[in-house]
Amino acid sequence: MQFTVSGIRQSTAARLVVHAVDIPAARLQAEAQGISVISVRAQPFAALSLRGKSRFPLMQFNQGLHTLLSAGLSLVEGIEALAEREVRADVRAVLQTLLAKLYEGASLSAGLAAQAEVFPPLYVATIRANETTGALVEAIERFIQYRAQIDIVRKRVVSAAIYPALILAVGGLVILFLMLYVVPRFSQVFDDLGDKIPAMSRVLLDWGHVVHDHAGTVILVCAALPALAAWMFTRDAVRASLGRTITRIPRVGEFVRVYQLARFYRTLGMLLRAGIPAVPALSMVTALLPASLRNSLEDARRDVREGRALSAALDARGLATPVSLRMMRVGERTGQMGEMMERIATFHDDEVAQAIEWFIRLFEPLLMIVLGGVIGAIVLLMYAPIFELAGSIQ
């Protein structure tokens, strides 16, 4: 968000436009530049442009900070260097606000927590658990590896969906072209044939008359439907309902559940390796699971708090696969539960990737067959009156 800060600097009036997440952050940023703040005012419509979501490049920030700290710079020097080289005003504002906190003597985790809209709680908790032991560089490196693995899985899913999406888009455009342009013109040509047109062709040609007579309305509806579908997909209730529907599909639902559990295992493993106890770590990862599994996770957390082993608690609440259960038991015996959780996640990520690959191999030809069948049926029904007329002439 953009804020206009009015104040005094070196006995003269000063006016500054800053980018910050809220008014206190804007005040801190101005004070860090030597301004005695008198008032802070949000610029009109600034909040609407970001829709309350930060665009801060967290991965890039961690990679840069890790490199600078590994080179021997202090924490403040490293963040100052990142702020000086940053050209994006909103990102630079976040870094300057963080610097203002560090200048006041606050810890890095406290400075990160002050901008909760930018830095996720998992990241803040990881930094907090390691900065007191002097293992800050290791914590940042661990978070970079965690995000890299998460991104790899996401890219696998996206790349696998690109080609089917292109096929569906091209096929859909061809069908729209036939239904909105070609069919209406064929319907005018065949008006004089009357009852000689086959029944199914008559239905198609009647649609052509509707498009011809109400072209503007039909095109507007066809354009509005995708926009309405996209808007509905942004609603949490719609996405939750769609997720529940997908999980009920045989086999597909099981792989979706394994994918969700793999992300849960990886995040939990990162927190455990950072030194965070199991009970608080389980609380932090609640949001990673769908609503249908969150009650089970809460029950498992209560079991662990009462002294039950983590593997037994997750298994009893349906949050463990046969493979993960055995590996967790090994992790408990060796005292390497965090590392074992990450290995479990890697195993299941590979399993999901193979399932996606096989699904795409089967889905692509089926999709082409369906689209080809629809397009072929439309063309056949358009030409059926011609075949009927030719047969009657003979």
Q: What pLDDT score was predicted for residue 194?
A: 57
Report d(CA 282, CA 264) in Å as an integer: 9
174/30: higher pLDDT: 174
Residue 68 in this model has a pLDDT that exceeds 50: yes
- Six-digit token string for 372: 């080809």
185, 211 Cβ separation under 8 angstroms: no
- Six-digit token string for 332: 């408990």
- Nearest alpha carbon to residue 196 among 60, 43, 391, 389: 389
Query: Across the beta sheet with 36-42, what order do the strands follow?
Result: 12-19, 2-9, 36-42
In terms of DSSP bridges, do strands 36-42 and 2-9 run parallel, antiparallel, or are they unpaired?
A: antiparallel
Q: Mean of the pLDDT values across residues 283-303?
A: 85
Pick from 31-40, 72-81, 90-99: least confident = 31-40
Pick from 288-292, 311-315, 336-340, 346-350: least confident = 288-292
Multiple choice CATH, 58-141, 1.20.81.30, 1.10.760.10, 1.10.1660.10, 1.20.140.10: 1.20.81.30
Q: Is residue 53 very low, low, confident or very high in pLDDT (cuts 50, 70, 90)?
A: very low
Where does residue 73 fall: left (phi above 0), alpha (psi -120 to 50 degrees), or beta otherwise?
A: beta
Q: What pLDDT score was predicted for residue 215?
A: 77
In sequence order, the 6+-apart residues with CB closer than 8 A to the CB of 153 are 259, 262, 263, 349, 352, 353
Tell me which DSSP letter residue 181 carries: I
Domain 142-176+218-394 belongs in CATH node 1.10.3720.10: no
Q: What pLDDT score was predicted for residue 38?
A: 75
Residue 190 in this model has a pLDDT that exceeds 80: no
Tell me which DSSP letter residue 306 carries: T
272/33: higher pLDDT: 272
Q: Is residue 164 very low, low, confident or very high in pLDDT (cuts 50, 70, 90)?
A: confident
Q: How far is CA 10 from CA 36, 127, 150, in A?
A: 9, 37, 49
316/120: higher pLDDT: 316
Residue 44 in this model has a pLDDT that exceeds 70: no
Q: Of the segments 16-30, 73-87, 352-366, which one has the largest average pLDDT value?
A: 73-87
Q: What pLDDT score was predicted for residue 54?
A: 46
Q: What pLDDT score was predicted for residue 310?
A: 92
313/32: higher pLDDT: 313
pLDDT in tens, 330-348: 999 998 898 899 899 889 8
Q: Mean of the pLDDT values across residues 340-368?
A: 85
Q: What pLDDT score was predicted for residue 288?
A: 75
Q: Mean of the pLDDT values across residues 244-248?
A: 77
H or E element at residue 190: none
With both helix axes pointing from N to C terminus, report the angle between 215-233 and 236-247 in degrees, rounded to the nearest 10: 80
Give the mean pLDDT of the chain: 80
202/304: higher pLDDT: 304
Query: Tokens 């996206």 identify what position?
Result: 158
With a pLDDT cut of 90, the percent of the chain lying above it is 7
Q: Mean of the pLDDT values across residues 54-74?
A: 85
209, 185 Cβ separation under 8 angstroms: no
Q: What pLDDT score was predicted for residue 125?
A: 78
The sign of the CA dihedral 352, 354, 359, 365 is: positive
118, 56 Cβ separation under 8 angstroms: yes
Q: Mean of the pLDDT values across residues 221-235?
A: 82
Q: Domain spans of the chain?
A: 2-50, 58-141, 142-176+218-394
343/352: higher pLDDT: 343
Same fold yes or no, 58-141 and 142-176+218-394: yes
